[in-house]
């Protein structure tokens, strides 16, 4: 926002995105309804469905990822519903908190931060549990630690126990493989500004018929209007072909998202996922070569973000400040890891050596300076 040198934005979202996408943001305003617009809007939704590998219903909300989570959980859950939340980070805890605010009875299965859930153990927990859970809620990529939970296998466990599976895919969709239908994931959410490579502003909710059935089976009405999936469906059906929602859509954000999705299609989803995986692997390898520790266990490390333990004697703000002096912006650890870890996002433009080298180089400089200073050279 100021200064002569543009900042390299390597936080875990929003991230630097393509100039082509940004250009769409300054398009002339168009009406948020009409046949042409609806076709354009539906094409946008189809492109997202391609990434999710699904034929399910998909809605865009003007909102952040939290809006998508709140719309989903508020539409699904009612007073007294038992839900199981798998939590190994801030965003797992968030699922629990939001469920409670919708009056559900929440059981949290906790796992050490930085470690992924073991589907066999979750299966065992469910076998022994006396509770009649309605749904199992989990985070795909936990932005606070940089691990990816095995959502495919966890959704299988949920299915085996006849639970609805809900996946928070805010930080994973677009950079990790995700086969919603094949993996029997009933409900998933994401947002525009992470793996999809668009500016923040749009939240995405995708759900199958099992969820519609569960919503129809509710004993009480869904609270509120804006984040109410039943009302979304009502407009979708009533105003199909003209304005498949009841609000003023953030048209510029949709145009930018569509461009971002077209760029994903152009790159090829598989190529994009590979680029992100390889960039993340390269980053973790480089970090370890510097003698630093990555929080995530390697086999569950994700492609979107890496949490790095600060070198002894340095707190996060010191490292963040040194990077910022070099026009690089990274994130602090979250929750219990604030101060002791830094987090580097490597999505979109960030998933490339041209963006990763500067981060690694500054970290190297910090460590070398310390070494020299310890040796009494500086």
Q: How far is the CB of 266 from a second copy (least distance, A)?
A: 20
As given in the structure block, the two tokens for residue 108 are 């949290």
The SS3 of residue 59 is: strand
Q: Which is closer to a second copy, CB of 147 or CB of 249? A: 249
Centre a 10 Å sphere on the Cβ of residue 238 and count the other Cβ atoms it contains: 11
Per the CB < 8 A criterion, the answer to whether 139 and 149 are in contact is yes
> How far is it, in rounded angstroms, from Cα 10 to Cα 355?
8
Task: Give whole-number Cα distances, 125 to 118, 129, 159, in Å.
Answer: 11, 6, 14
From residue 168, how far is each of 20, 61, 175, 188, 200 by CA, in Å? 28, 15, 14, 6, 16
Q: Please say which residue, 24 or 154, places its beta carbon nearer to a second copy.
A: 24
Residue 91: CB minimum distance to a second copy, A: 12
Instruction: Please give the DSSP secondary-structure letter assigned to residue 169.
Output: -
How many Å apart are CA 96 and CA 71, to the nearest integer?
14
Q: How far is the CB of 177 from a second copy (least distance, A)?
A: 24
Choose between 116 and 227: whose C-beta lies nearer to a second copy.
227
CB of 17 to a second copy, least distance (A): 6
Give least dist CB 76 to a second copy, A.
12
Q: Could you identify the residue written with the tokens 């469905």?
A: 49
CA dihedral 73, 297, 349, 3 (to 10 degrees): 90
Q: Distance (Å, rounded) from C-alpha 56 to C-alpha 69?
A: 17
Contact present, 204 and 180 (Cβ < 8 Å): no
CB closer to a second copy out of 246 and 358: 246
The C-alpha atoms of residue 321 and residue 180 are separated, in whole angstroms, by 40
Least Å distance between CB 254 and a second copy? 10
Structure tokens belonging to residue 96? 């629990």
Nearer to a second copy, 36 or 365 (CB): 36
Residue 329 annotated as binding site: no
Closest to a second copy by CB, 9 vs 363, is 9
Per-residue b or e along 326-347, where b marks 16 or more CB atoms closer than 10 Å to that residue's CB = eebbbbbbbeebeeebbbbbbb
The smaller minimum CB distance to a second copy, of residues 99 and 303, is found at 99
**Whose structure tokens read 């070198």?**
311
172 contacts 178 by C-beta, under 8 angstroms:
yes
Residue 51 CB, shortest distance to a second copy, in Å, is 19
CB of 66 to a second copy, least distance (A): 5
> CB-wise, 60 or 122, nearer to a second copy?
60
Rounded Cα gap, residues 347 and 277, in angstroms? 10
Contact residues for a second copy (CB under 8 A)? 1-2, 6-7, 9, 11, 13-17, 22-32, 36-37, 40, 61-67, 69-71, 74, 94, 97-98, 101-103, 191, 193, 199-201, 221-228, 246-253, 329
- Residues placed in the known binding site for substrate: 343
- Residues placed in the known binding site: 343
């Amino acid at each position: 926002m100021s200064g002569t040198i543009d900042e390299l934005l390597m936080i875990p979202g929003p991230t630097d995105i393509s100039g082509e996408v940004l250009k769409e943001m300054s398009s002339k305003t168009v009406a948020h309804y009409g046949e042409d617009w609806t076709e354009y809007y539906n094409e946008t939704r189809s492109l997202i469905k391609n990434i999710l590998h699904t034929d399910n219903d998909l809605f865009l909300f003007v909102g952040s990822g939290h809006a998508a989570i709140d719309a989903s959980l508020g539409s699904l859950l009612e007073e007294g519903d038992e839900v199981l939340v798998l939590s190994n980070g801030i965003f797992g805890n968030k699922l629990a908190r939001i469920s409670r605010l919708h009056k559900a009875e929440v059981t949290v299965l906790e796992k050490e931060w930085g470690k992924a859930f073991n589907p066999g153990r979750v299966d065992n927990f469910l076998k022994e549990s006396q509770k009649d859970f309605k749904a199992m809620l989990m985070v795909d990529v936990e932005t606070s630690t940089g691990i990816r939970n095995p959502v495919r296998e966890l959704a299988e466990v949920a299915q085996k126990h006849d639970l609805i599976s809900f996946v928070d895919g805010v930080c994973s969709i677009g950079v990790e493989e995700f086969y919603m239908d094949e993996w029997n994931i009933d409900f998933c959410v994401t947002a525009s500004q992470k793996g999809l490579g668009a500016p923040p502003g749009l939240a995405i909710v995708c759900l199958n018929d099992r969820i519609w059935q569960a919503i129809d089976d509710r004993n009480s009405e869904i609270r509120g209007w804006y984040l109410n999936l039943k009302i979304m469906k009502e407009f979708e059906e009533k105003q199909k072909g003209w304005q498949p929602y009841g609000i003023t859509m953030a048209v510029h954000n949709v145009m930018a998202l569509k461009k971002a999705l077209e760029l994903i299609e152009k790159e090829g989803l598989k190529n994009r996922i590979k680029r992100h995986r390889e960039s993340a692997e390269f980053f973790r390898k480089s970090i370890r070569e510097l003698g630093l520790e990555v929080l995530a266990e390697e086999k569950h490390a994700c492609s979107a973000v890496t949490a790095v333990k600060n070198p002894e004697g340095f707190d996060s703000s010191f490292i963040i400040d040194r990077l910022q002096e070099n026009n690089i912006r990274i994130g602090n650890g979250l929750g219990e890891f604030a101060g002791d870890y830094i987090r580097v996002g490597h999505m979109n433009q960030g998933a490339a050596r041209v963006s990763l080298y500067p981060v690694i180089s500054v970290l190297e400089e910090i460590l070398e300076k310390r070494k020299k200073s310890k040796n009494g050279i500086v």
